[in-house]
Structures are given as C-alpha cells and as structure tokens.
Amino acid sequence: MSIKRLIFISLALYAVICVFLYFFANPVVISVIFRLLNFAIMVAIVVYVYYRNLHPAAKEVIHQEELKKEALVTQHDELLDKESELKKKLQDQKDECCYLLTKIDQWRERFDERQKQYEDEREKAHDRAQKRAQLQSEWLGRNLAYKQIVEHVVEIMREDLKNRFSDEDQQQKYIEQLIVFMRKNVS
Amino acid sequence: MIVREQAVALKYAKAFLNVFIDEVSLDDYKKITVLEQFLKKRRDALAFLALPHLDSAIIEKSLGSVIEKFELPECFNRLVRLLIKGRRAFLFSLVLSVIAALYRKRKKIENFVIRSSYKLDDSALDVIKNFLEQKTGTKVFSRHELDKRLIAGIRLKSDHYLWEYSVAKKLRTLTASPLK
C-alpha cells in the first residue's frame, strides 16, 4: 500500500469518525477520542517523516555496517583459513627441518669418516715419500761411493795393465789371440 | 750458406757419378781420397778459387794441373769446366769429398781405420780386412794407426761401423757399469 492511499484512507476514516461523533457521542467521549486521534495523527506524522527523510539514510548506514560486518566475517574466515594453512606449512617445514637435520648428521658422519680416510692416506703417502727419499738418498750415496771406488779401482787397474802390457810379448800374444779369433770367424 | 753449398755440391756429385761412375775405378777412388785428404789438410790451397775476378782460364789450368798431379781420370776436367761455367769452382773440394762419399755408398765401400796397440804385420791386416768384409758385406779400404791408449787390443772404425776389443774398452765398460 502506498503512502498516499494510506493518507487518503486515514482522512476518510477521520471524517467518518467525526461525523459519527458529531451525531452520536457526548463531549467527554469526543474529547478522549480526539485526543487519541490527535496522538495517532502525531505518531503517523512522526512515522511518515521518519520513513520519508530519516529512514533511507539509516537504512544505508545499516546496510554499510552490515556489508562491513560481512567483509569482516569473510576476512575473519580467510584469516582463519590462512592460519590453518600457515600452521600446516609450519608443521611441514618442521618435518622437513627434522629430515634435513638427520641428513646433515649423516653427512657430517660421512664427512668425518672421509676426512679420516684422507688423513690416513695422506700420512701413508707422506711416509712412502719419506721412505722413497730416504732410499734415494741412500742409493745416491752408495752410487757415488761406488763410482768413486770404481774410478779409483779402474785407475789402479789401468796403471797395472799398462805396466803389464808394456811388455811387447804380452801385447803380441793379446793381438795374436784376437787375430786367431778373427781368422776363425772368417769362413 | 754452408748447407746450401752442401746441397749444390751434392747435385754436382750426383750428376757426375750418374754419367762417369763406370769410368772411375777403385784405383781412381783411392786417388780421389788422397786428393780429398790433401785438400782437407791444406784448406787454403784452393782459396784463390773464390776470388771473383779471376780468369777462368787460370782456374781451369790450375785445377787441371792438380788433377794431372794426382792422376785423376780425364772426366774430372769436364767437372772442373762445368764448375767454372757455373762460377762455382770454389766448390771443387767439397764436390770431390761428396763424390768420394757417394762412390763409397754406390760401390759399397767402407773406409776403416784400424787402430791397434801393437804394430800389425800385413798378414794380420789382411785377416782383419777379410773379417770386416765378411761381417759388413762391403769392400773394405783400411788405414792402420798405432794407438797406445788402447793399452792392448784393436779398434776398427768406419763411418757406419765400430768394432773394438781392447783393455781400454773393458775399463770404460767397467767405469760406466751402474750400481746393481
């Protein structure tokens, strides 16, 4: 029902009541009724003004507030979802971290073992190199001594042989042996 | 420069032997080696050949007299004329030594120096010569020298071969033997 029709019906009803009261009611009843009617009219005017001017703004404000509330509820839900997601992620990361820590421990153990192996091998290689150097130096020393001795001995032998072969007969015998060897080798 | 001269001398020597190898006998070869030795010992004997304005007739005459003196075959005169024509008479000595080397190679001749600590008689030298000819499969020309450094023994050496049996060699081997 529109407001115009409502006003029209109210005025009609007011006129009917006025006519009825004018002809059938005493003044006390009339004054009570008109007081009630005036009060009702006042209330109607207030309601009308409220609905006409104040109601849309209030409705808009309420609507805005409701929208805000809905947005906040949605945000709240989203934040709750995010929180659960983050909790899950955190848990996953904690698990991964535990796994990685285990791996790191394993790797560290392996690394320590390998380091120990390297150390052992290095020590062995060092020992071998030292032994080799020692052997080489010993060998060089022996070789040097051997060479000196050989040279000395050869010099003595050379002098001895020179003296021995200074005899012409010895020379002749030696050469003749060679000539005999060559003669035998010639067919 | 020396390498280039060697290459040129090699070409002349090869060409000479390609044409005249049959005309050069073993006796001629011996004469060539005698001349080669002579020119090696007296390097300045033919130094005048390098003079730029020397008359070619003089060069031909002087080299001809050398060839005649050492009784080389006539074909060497043609070699001399060819060298003079090419203005390379100064290469005569080098060409001669290359000819000797190529002749030895083509006729399978080895020049051995026989060194011994004791003077060898002719029969011993013949035995050594036969021994070498049999072992090397070449014709052997030898020269005997006395070498007291051998202490006792014989050393036979050519451009390609070395045979030694001497006290000196044994001592050398002993000195060079490594520590076991």
Q: Residue A1: is its pLDDT beyond 70? A: no
Residue A115 to residue A118: CA distance in whole angstroms? 5
Range of the domain at B170: 109-176
Q: CA-nearest residue of chain A to B125?
A: A179
| pLDDT tens sequence across A123-149 | 999 999 999 999 999 999 998 898 899
Chain A nearest CA to B155, separation (Å): 11
Residue of A143, A154, A162 lying closest to B175 (CB–CB): A154
Instruction: Give the pLDDT confidence of B94-120 residue by residue, as tens digits.
Output: 999 999 999 999 999 998 999 999 899
Q: What average pLDDT does the segment A89-113 reach?
A: 96
Tell me if chain B has a CB within 8 Å of the CB of A173.
no
Taking only the tens place, the pLDDT of each residue in B143-174 is 999 999 999 999 999 988 999 999 999 999 98
On whether both B136 and B96 belong to a single domain, the answer is no
- Residue B3 has a pLDDT of 73
**How many domains is chain B partitioned into structurally?**
2
CB A182 within 8 A of CB B156: no
Contact B124 A139 (CB under 8 A): no
* Co-location of B21 and B82 in the same domain: yes
Which of B120, B151, B175 shows the shortest C-beta gap to A150? B175
CATH number of the domain encompassing residue B82: 1.10.520
Same domain, B63 and B36: yes
Residues B158 and B111: beta-carbon distance below 8 Å:
yes
My answer on whether B78 and B42 are in the same domain is yes
pLDDT greater than 70 at residue B63 = yes
**The pLDDT value given to residue B2:** 65
Q: Are residues B53 and B128 in the same domain?
A: no
Q: Do B127 and A186 touch (CB under 8 A)?
A: yes
Q: Are residues B16 and B48 in the same domain?
A: yes
When pLDDT is cut at 50, 70 and 90, the band that residue A96 belongs to is: very high
* Model confidence pTM above 0.80: no
Same domain, B130 and B97: no
Same-domain status, B25 and B86: yes
Reported as a single tens digit per residue, the pLDDT across A48-71 is 888 777 777 888 888 999 999 999
DSSP chain B: -HHHHHHHHHHHHHHHHHHHGGG--HHHHHHHHHHHHHHHH-GGGGGGGG-TT--HHHHHHHHHHHHHHTT--THHHHHHHHHHHTT-GGGHHHHHHHHHHHHHHHTTEEEEEEEESS---HHHHHHHHHHHHHHH-SEEEEEEEE-GGGSSEEEEE-SS-EEEEEHHHHHHHHHHPPP-
Domain boundary among B106, B126, B160: B106
Domain ranges of chain A: 3-175
Q: Residues B13, B99: one domain? A: yes
Residue after which a domain boundary falls, among B106, B134, B163: B106
Chain B: residues touching A (Cβ < 8 Å): 116-118, 120, 124, 127-128, 130-131, 134-135, 151-154, 165, 167, 171, 174-175, 177-179
pLDDT of residue B1: 58
Residues B161 and B82 in one domain: no
C-alpha dihedral (B90, B91, B96, B101), degrees to nearest 10: 150
- Residue-averaged pLDDT of chain B: 89
- Residues B172, B145, single domain; the answer is yes
Instruction: Using the 3D structure, point to which of B81, B106, B131 is the last residue of a domain.
Output: B106
